[in-house]
């Protein structure tokens, strides 16, 4: 039977509405990824990175207690916190940045999170903030900045539950300063103080650590043991952290003395990236909130610098200094490139939010820029991560029909303690699991890997840590972006 013209048109219309381009198996009828699902998974990832005694409601069951004696060489309690990537070391510098970015995501976009997702996000912040608070207050005049010898750790492939490498404790003090790690820790504590449960304690510690960073200036990689310093040396120096820490303390306390200090720093370099190492762009966007939303013209210089950052990364901008792959991914580095993609995308959505609230626009030379311009680029980057790319692969583990199977991650690549209770030794891990060709036995749900190269290629090899290792700071910046888009594109 031939359908009538009206019913046929109706069927065609319904088909058009329901049709999707399926790039990862998690695309909704409106033609966009399932941002809410990706958001929940991106937060769940942090449970798989936990160190210490796990809580009764731990959802990632292939992880067990680990690092229960951390801090004992210094007679302090440094249990808890996060392993930053696929190894078993706790680096305070990237952990603090992770905490700041997770907190910022909750501050800006917590209203778009719902129920369990918001609780899990706050729990993820608090798991790190509790550790950083202990690290900052355990010994007067000392900030503990790392646990575990990274050289020894990297010579082993073992589960965190089995690790028997030295749990060396690293710290900074007046005689061995570390303004970069101290100011970042101050930023993290101040940002996490949005949690009303213990904001007073966090802010008191943040003020003290920031004062230490200013009073005893120096790079921690110049003073902390070379093992830790070499892995997270602050190549950008520490002026950016002083700006970042002061910006967060100004936000959290509204103390005008931080505003005066910000003006004195003179950290005016132009930048086209934002990361655990270089905080200038992030500080400028945060300060733009007060300039645009609150109309504080004393911070207009930072707002203009934030706009300069945007002009350096927009692909159509005459002043762009940012490379993009043929598939449209922002490309900054051959090592864990997606960390730069997620952090820049967070700044784009957040600055767009401030622009929209204040009806603000600007230009990159002759190119007019609106909030919509920034959101469009951020969404393209997020969609690329979730599967809208030449490989048709989601770079978030556990999201979509096709995702990395052999991520560079000790715990994920080896059987859980429940499945294999016997100890697995340092070198046994290499021969039995690292060099195995199959998929990891544990799906590290929500983990975002380092990502493809400048040609959009991704080999999915366990030994390729540049592309296959997930990190907490990559996920931390993505959480806020996903919350924004989940709230904008509801199913």
Contacting residues for 123 by C-beta, under 8 A, at least 6 apart: none
Q: Residue 441 in contact with residue 5, Cβ under 8 Å?
A: no
Are 220 and 93 a contacting pair, CB within 8 Å?
yes
Active-site residue identified among 77, 130, 195, 460: 460
Q: What is d(CA 247, CA 216) in angstroms, rounded to the nearest whole number? A: 19
Three-class SS of residue 169?
strand
Q: At residue 10, what are phi and psi to the nearest 5 degrees?
A: -65, -45
Closest-CA residue to 147 (of 127, 125, 175, 171): 171
Which single residue is written with the structure tokens 């991106």?
42
Among candidate residues 32, 408, 409, 444, the one labeled active-site is: 408
Q: What CA–CA distance (Å, rounded) separates 221 from 181?
A: 9
**Contact in structure between 447 and 123 (CB atoms under 8 Å):** no
State the Cα–Cα distance between residues 321 and 404, nearest whole angstrom. 30
Q: What angle do CA 271, 346, 255 make, to 5 degrees?
A: 75
Would you call 184 a catalytic residue per the annotation?
Answer: no
Integer Cα distance of 344 and 477 in angstroms: 8
Cβ(34)–Cβ(23) below 8 Å: no
Tokens of 310: 């945007």
Half-sphere exposure of 146 (CA within 13 A, CB side): 29
Active-site residue flag, 460: yes
Our CA dihedral for 227, 231, 234, 235, rounded to 10 degrees, sits at 110
List, in sequence order, every residue forming a beta bridge with 323; answer none if it has no partner.
331
Radius of gyration of the chain (CA): 23
Taking the C-alpha atoms of residue 470 and residue 416, their distance in angstroms, rounded to an integer, is 19
d(CA 92, CA 81) in angstroms, rounded, equals 9
| Active-site annotation holder among 108, 180, 383, 469 | 469
User: Among all residues, which ones are annotated catalytic?
Assistant: 408, 460, 469
């Amino acid at each position: 039977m031939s359908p009538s013209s009206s019913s046929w048109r109706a069927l065609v219309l319904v088909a058009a509405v329901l049709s999707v381009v399926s790039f990862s198996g998690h695309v909704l009828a409106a033609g966009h990824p399932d941002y809410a699902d990706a958001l929940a998974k991106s937060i769940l990832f942090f449970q798989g990175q936990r160190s210490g005694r796990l809580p009764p409601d731990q959802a990632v069951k292939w992880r067990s207690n680990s690092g229960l004696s951390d801090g004992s060489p210094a007679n302090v309690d440094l249990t808890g916190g996060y392993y930053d990537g696929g190894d078993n070391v706790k680096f305070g510098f990237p952990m603090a940045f992770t905490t700041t970015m997770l907190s910022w995501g909750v501050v800006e976009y917590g209203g778009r999170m719902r129920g369990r997702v918001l609780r899990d996000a706050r729990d993820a912040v608090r798991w790190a903030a509790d550790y950083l608070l202990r690290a900052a207050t355990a010994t007067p005049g000392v900030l503990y900045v790392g646990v575990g010898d990274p050289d020894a750790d990297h010579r082993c492939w073992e589960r965190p539950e089995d690790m028997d490498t030295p749990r060396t404790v690293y710290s900074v003090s007046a005689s061995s300063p570390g303004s970069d790690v101290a100011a970042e820790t101050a930023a993290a504590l101040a940002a996490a103080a949005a949690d009303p449960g213990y904001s007073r304690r966090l802010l008191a510690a943040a003020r003290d650590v920031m004062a230490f960073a200013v009073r005893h200036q120096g790079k921690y990689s110049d003073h902390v043991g070379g093992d830790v310093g070499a892995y997270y040396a602050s190549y950008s120096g520490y002026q950016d952290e002083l700006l970042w820490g002061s910006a967060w303390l100004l936000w959290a306390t509204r103390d005008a003395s931080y505003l005066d200090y910000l003006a004195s720093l003179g950290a005016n370099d132009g930048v086209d990236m934002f990361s655990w190492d270089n905080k200038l762009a992030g500080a400028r966007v945060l300060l733009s909130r007060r300039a645009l939303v609150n109309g504080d013209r004393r911070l207009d210089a930072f707002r203009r610098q934030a706009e300069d950052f945007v002009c350096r990364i927009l692909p159509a901008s005459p002043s762009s200094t940012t490379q993009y792959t043929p598939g449209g991914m922002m490309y900054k580095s051959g090592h864990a490139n997606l960390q730069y993609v997620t952090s820049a995308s967070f700044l784009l959505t957040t600055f767009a939010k401030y622009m929209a609230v204040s009806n603000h626009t600007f230009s990159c030379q002759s190119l007019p820029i609106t909030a919509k311009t920034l959101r469009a680029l951020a969404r393209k980057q997020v969609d690329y991560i979730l599967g809208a790319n030449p490989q048709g692969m989601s770079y978030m583990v556990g999201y979509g029909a096709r995702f990395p199977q052999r991520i560079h991650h000790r715990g994920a690549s080896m059987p859980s303690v429940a499945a294999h209770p016997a100890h697995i030794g340092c070198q046994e891990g290499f021969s039995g699991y690292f060099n195995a060709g199959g998929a990891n036995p544990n799906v590290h749900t929500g983990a975002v890997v380092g990502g493809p190269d400048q040609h959009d290629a991704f080999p999915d090899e366990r030994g390729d840590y540049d592309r296959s290792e997930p990190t907490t700071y990559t996920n931390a910046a993505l959480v806020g972006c996903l919350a924004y888009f989940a709230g904008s594109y509801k199913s």
